[in-house]
Amino acid sequence: MEQQGAKTTVNIVLGGFGEIATKAHLPAIQRSDNNFRLVAIVDPNRDAALERLSHFSLSEEDIGVYQSLSSCLQDCNHYDIDAVAVCTPSTVTLDLALVAIRAGKHVLVEKPPGDWRRLREIKQMAEGQQLAFFTAYHTAACVGYPLAKSWLNKNLDSLQKVHVTWKESVKKWHPGQIWVTRKGTSAVQGCDGVLDIVFNPLSLLYALLGPLTYQESNLEVPKNWETPIAGSFNLIAANNDKGIPVTGDFAWNYEPASGAGPGEIWTIDFESSNSSVMSLQDGGNQEYVDSERVTSEPTAPYPLKPEYENIYRTFANLIETSTSSVDDTTPKLLEEIQGNAEIRSGPPYEL
């Protein structure tokens, strides 16, 4: 790390340079008020990575471009690397995190991170080397978080129930990307279907309420998919003597009406026995209490932008203190929702 006046600059590598890295990570790194300088990117598809870099008026003369993280880290004569942000499908995320930790680098990992057991092991390894290891779950860094936490501090004892409604169009966010319908392996790109987006509200609820206990779940798998496209869950938050029911409905085949009318739904509603209701909407970017909006700014055109800016501020602080912040509870809960669900077959669904 380099000291420039009162500011410490962290040289960072982006491990993975797909859509989320280009739309969220790179703009957050480039903010003038943060501590990071991008020195290299890693992507197996080198030509595509160079094309995406050009959209930021950057070239290989400005940023190192590598097809593997190992080769990037070995090129230490050219790049003084302090940290790695891993933004890849979960099938390889923790493999890359392990490579970076073993090389003595601070690590940020995108959600979902992969197996929660390995996550715990890598955290212990990072702590043993006094390295920052950060599970960067973007919804937990939403604009509405501090306001929601304040409301809960006043109403937790009277909180009666929580309901999640998380519905969006996979055709909009992953058009034609057949990999989202397939179970992934270390050799094949894939995911957990709609559970990839369910990670978002659950990680935010963990940040607000602490660990949730699994009760039951249902998942719908289209006949031409390997992964679920919709479902529901029943959970319990043990934040008061009686426990708080947490229910949820989620879908990736939601088709919002065009033009006027409701769009995609990313909402968590909290209801207390004193009749007060708090609602987090737009993925946590807006908070309403008793139908009155509390947040002062409209939702950003790209809602992830403020979340990732918050993430990198947190990562800078973790690096400064060489500490870790790891939520391994949310991936464990997703595993329970998936592994214990009642599965129903749904009609074919084409992307």
Q: Tell me, yes or no, whether 211 and 103 share the same domain.
A: no
User: Which residues partner with 221 through β-bridges?
Assistant: 345
* DSSP state, residue 246: E
Number of neighbouring beta carbons within 10 Å of residue 320? 13
Can you give the C-alpha Rg of the chain in angstroms? 20
Owning domain of residue 229:
140-299+334-346
Q: Work out how many domains the chain is built from and give that number.
A: 2
What length is written for the chain?
A: 351
The tally of CA atoms less than 13 A away on the side-chain side of residue 2 is 10
Q: Tell me, yes or no, whether 194 and 340 share the same domain.
A: yes
Q: Tell me, yes or no, whether 134 and 144 share the same domain.
A: no
Q: Tell me, yes or no, whether 144 and 133 share the same domain.
A: no
Is 108 within 8 Å of 15 (Cβ atoms)?
A: no
Please indicate, yes or no, if residue 114 is contained in any of the structural domains. Answer: yes
How far apart are alpha carbons 101 and 322 in whole angstroms?
Answer: 13
* DSSP state, residue 158: G
Please indicate, yes or no, if residue 351 is contained in any of the structural domains. Answer: no
CATH number of the structural domain spanning residue 159:
3.30.360.10
Return the amino acid letter for 240. Answer: N
Query: pLDDT tens per residue, the chain (351 residues)?
Result: 665 544 678 999 999 998 899 999 999 998 867 789 999 999 999 999 999 999 888 888 889 999 999 999 988 656 789 999 999 988 899 999 999 999 999 999 999 999 999 999 999 999 999 999 999 999 999 999 999 999 999 998 899 999 999 999 999 888 888 989 998 776 667 789 999 999 999 999 999 999 999 999 999 999 999 999 999 999 999 866 678 999 999 999 998 766 444 478 999 999 999 888 999 999 999 999 999 999 988 887 777 888 999 999 999 999 999 999 999 999 999 999 999 999 999 999 999
User: Which residues partner with 36 through β-bridges?
Assistant: 10
User: Which residues partner with 267 through β-bridges?
Assistant: 165
Q: Is the dihedral of CA 257, 277, 166, 19 positive or negative?
A: positive
